[in-house]
């Protein structure tokens, strides 16, 4: 299967409500969708899950586009690929995992559609639907009432797990109030690297709220720090930004830095690596769950297939389309009984709705081997 062209579709998608985390507030999602076209005209899609600026990690959308144009497209275009072959070939580009994942997933999608195989089947999904959680930002007003209103809306919608963004100054009180209102709901927090090692005893105060996990309290590369926090807290520590590969997942487990892992295919440079991390964690009895990067239906479809693997035993941030967008670029993913159905069609099982793609796109760049 020879890839003749890559089309980079840049979309601006307004969020239904501001999404504030410890690293800033997002009002619009800078989306980039990679469309891969093979020599027979078959097409595949991959979502580049970078933010518009390096707030979550060091990658950002304009940078990913440049790395794809300058370094990844010359590797991929005009050559014949298998899914693992293209991922391996792009490893010559150090880092830039999200950029590599977006191209590798588009190529994987073409390959799967030609083989009439769904991504779920290819990865080893064992479920037809997945339990869904939801990530709740810090209210821009920092009003507890506003937080309770938003959480209440998601509980009423049927989400099976609530995740609260926290940062120093917005942690103990909001968690206590939500736990008091909903004493038994599965509840966890995500700090997005906002704390330091000196906060170990402060974070241990969260132990009284029966949380599923505390996600990424410290900076990406602070392995020893996360081991220290894990010793200070009885609440399990989960890593997100720190886990870049199967080797870092194994290191996190062996160092005692994490007792469960948030898997994001973009962050680990693709779905094949995501599956490898799943398989390692399954063998070590370490629970995993599927993280979210406010994907459109393109990335969401693929994430839901991954979340259907047996080791994904915690609800993921695989929320419905309407959690973030009034209108999705694909048919919307709709929550039913707190779950999303795994797409069954070939490849990722969805495609952009042409008129939505046209109306949401702010730029399209076509890269060919000539």
Nearest CA-CA partner of 84 in 100, 98, 104? 104
User: Could you tell me the smallest distance in angstroms from the CB atom of residue 162 to Mg ion?
Assistant: 14
317 binds Mg ion (CB under 5 A): no
User: Using CA atoms, how far apart are residues 126 and 102, in angstroms rounded to an integer?
Assistant: 25
Q: Which is nearer to ligand NPQ, 291 or 352 (CB)?
A: 291
- Pick out residues in 116-145 that bind ligand NPQ (CB under 6 A): 135
User: Could you tell me the smallest distance in angstroms from the CB atom of residue 15 to ligand NPQ?
Assistant: 8
Which residue from 293, 314, 350, 357 is in contact with ligand NPQ, where contact means CB under 6 A?
293
Catalytic amino acids? 165, 264
Q: Per-residue x/- marks for ligand NPQ, 328-367, CB under 6 A?
A: ----------------------------------------
Q: For strand 288-290 and strand 187-190, is the pairing parallel, antiparallel, or unpaired? A: unpaired
Which residue from 87, 109, 190, 222 is in contact with ligand NPQ, where contact means CB under 6 A?
190
306 binds ligand NPQ (CB under 6 A): no
Q: Which is nearer to ligand NPQ, 54 or 310 (CB)?
A: 54
Query: Residues in contact with ligand NPQ, total (CB under 6 A)?
Result: 15
59 binds Mg ion (CB under 5 A): no
Burial class (CB in 10 A: 0-12, 13-18, 19+), 180: exposed
> What's the Cα-to-Cα distance from 13 to each of 26, 31, 81, 112, 362, rounded to whole Å?
11, 7, 32, 28, 10
Nearest CA-CA partner of 166 in 140, 143, 192? 192
Which residue from 87, 109, 240, 273 is in contact with ligand NPQ, where contact means CB under 6 A?
240
- Pick out residues in 43-72 that bind ligand NPQ (CB under 6 A): 51, 56
Q: For strand 129-131 and strand 133-136, is the pairing parallel, antiparallel, or unpaired? A: unpaired
Which residue from 30, 59, 131, 240 is in contact with Mg ion, where contact means CB under 5 A?
240
Indicate the Cα dihedral angle 315, 318, 322, 323, nearest 10°: 60
| The dihedral sign for the CA sequence 254, 305, 72, 15 | negative
């Amino acid at each position: 299967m020879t890839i003749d062209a890559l089309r980079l579709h840049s979309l601006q998608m307004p969020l239904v409500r501001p999404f504030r985390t410890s690293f800033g507030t997002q009002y619009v999602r800078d989306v980039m969708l990679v469309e891969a076209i093979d020599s027979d005209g078959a097409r595949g899609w991959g979502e580049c899950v970078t933010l518009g600026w390096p707030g979550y990690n060091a990658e950002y959308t304009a940078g990913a586009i440049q790395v794809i144009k300058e370094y990844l497209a010359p590797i991929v275009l005009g050559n014949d690929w298998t899914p693992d072959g293209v991922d391996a070939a792009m490893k010559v580009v150090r880092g830039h995992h999200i950029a590599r994942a977006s191209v590798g997933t588009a190529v994987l999608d073409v390959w799967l559609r030609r083989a009439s195989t769904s991504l779920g089947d290819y990865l080893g999904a064992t479920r037809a639907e997945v339990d869904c959680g939801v990530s709740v930002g810090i209210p821009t007003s920092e009003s507890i009432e506003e937080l309770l209103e938003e959480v209440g809306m998601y509980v009423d919608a049927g989400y099976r797990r609530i995740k609260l963004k926290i940062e120093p100054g917005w942690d103990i009180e909001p968690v206590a109030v939500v736990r008091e209102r909903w004493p038994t709901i599965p509840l966890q927090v995500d700090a997005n690297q906002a704390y330091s090692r000196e906060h170990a005893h402060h974070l241990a105060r969260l132990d009284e709220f029966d949380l599923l996990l505390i996600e990424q309290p410290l900076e990406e590369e602070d392995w020893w720090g996360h081991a220290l926090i894990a010793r200070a807290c009885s609440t399990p520590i989960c890593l997100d930004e720190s886990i870049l590969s199967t080797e870092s997942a194994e290191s996190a487990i062996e160092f005692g830095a994490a007792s469960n892992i948030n898997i994001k295919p973009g962050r680990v440079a693709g779905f094949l690596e995501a599956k490898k991390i799943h398989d390692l964690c399954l063998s070590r009895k370490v629970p995993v769950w599927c993280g979210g990067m406010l994907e459109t239906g393109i990335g969401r479809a693929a994430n839901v297939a991954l979340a259907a693997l047996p080791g994904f035993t915690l609800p993921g941030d695989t929320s419905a389309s309407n959690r973030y967008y009034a209108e999705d670029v694909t048919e919307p993913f709709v929550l039913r009984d707190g779950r999303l159905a795994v797409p069954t069609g070939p490849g990722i099982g969805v495609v952009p709705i042409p008129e939505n793609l046209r109306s949401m796109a702010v730029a399209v760049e076509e890269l060919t081997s000539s």
